[in-house]
Amino acid sequence: MRLTLNGRPVDVDPPGETTLLDFLRDHRGLTGTKRGCDRAECGTCTVLLDGAPVYSCRTLVHRCAGRAVETIEGLGTVDAPHLLQEAFVAEDATQCGFCTPGQIMAAVAVLARDADPTDEQIIAGLSGNLCRCGTHPKIVRAVRRAAAAMRTASHG
């Protein structure tokens, strides 16, 4: 089967029961996507499938045939971070950081739907992503900040 992973086509032949999360972490070494529960409860494994956030621990990789998967590794680099990543640093929206990649991927989807989301829309969009460190207020602020920065960037 073939899928697009962070913009690049890849041909793979994983066993039928392989989850997208196992595929990313254990077959491709993409460990930015975290395994917090492996039972669709925490959101640390959130990636985008054709732009929509999914729990990769509950998505079979075979369901991704012909589709586009985006992970945190495809978002930005240390030298050229994504505006969301910059905003998360600026607002200190990461404590232990274990939930952070999942929160950011869910936020990408929020901002793709609406360039100027309300707090309620941000909260709804991130509602599947737990954080035990209690970073929620700063995460929401960071998404708001990134939204503003992205609007400026696209107008400027």
- Residue 57 interface partner, choices other proteins, ligand FES, none, CB cut-off 5-8 Å depending on type: ligand FES
Residue 100: which of 41, 40, 36 has the closest Cα?
36
Which residues make up the interface to ligand FES (CB under 6 A)? 35-38, 40-45, 55, 57, 94-99, 131-133, 135
| Residue among 6, 3, 2, 27 nearest 108 (CA) | 6
The C-alpha atoms of residue 37 and residue 111 are separated, in whole angstroms, by 26
- CB-based contact 129:136 (threshold 8 Å): no
Q: Which is nearer to ligand FES, 53 or 151 (CB)?
A: 53
Q: Answer with the entry of ligand FES, other proteins, none that 89 interacts with (C-beta below 5 to 8 A by kind).
A: other proteins
Question: What interhelical angle do 136-155 and 100-113 show, nearest 10?
Answer: 40
Residue 127 CB, shortest distance to ligand FES, in Å, is: 13
Supply 132's token pair: 């035990």
Q: Whose Cβ is closer to other proteins: residue 3's or residue 146's?
A: 146
CB 48 within 8 A of CB 6: no
Binding mask 74-113 for other proteins (x = CB under 8 A): -xxxx--x--xx--xxx-x-xxxxxxxx--x---------
Which partner from the list ligand FES, other proteins, none does 121 bind, CB cut-off 5 to 8 Å by kind?
A: none
Residue 114 binds other proteins, judged by CB under 8 A: no
Residue 59 touches other proteins, criterion: CB under 8 A: no
Helix then strand then coil, in percent of the chain rounded to 5, is 45, 15, 45
* Residues 47/105, Cβ–Cβ less than 8 Å: yes
For other proteins, the binding residues (CB under 8 A) are: 17-18, 22, 26, 29, 31-39, 41-42, 44, 71-73, 75-78, 81, 84-85, 88-90, 92, 94-101, 104, 122-124, 126-127, 129-140
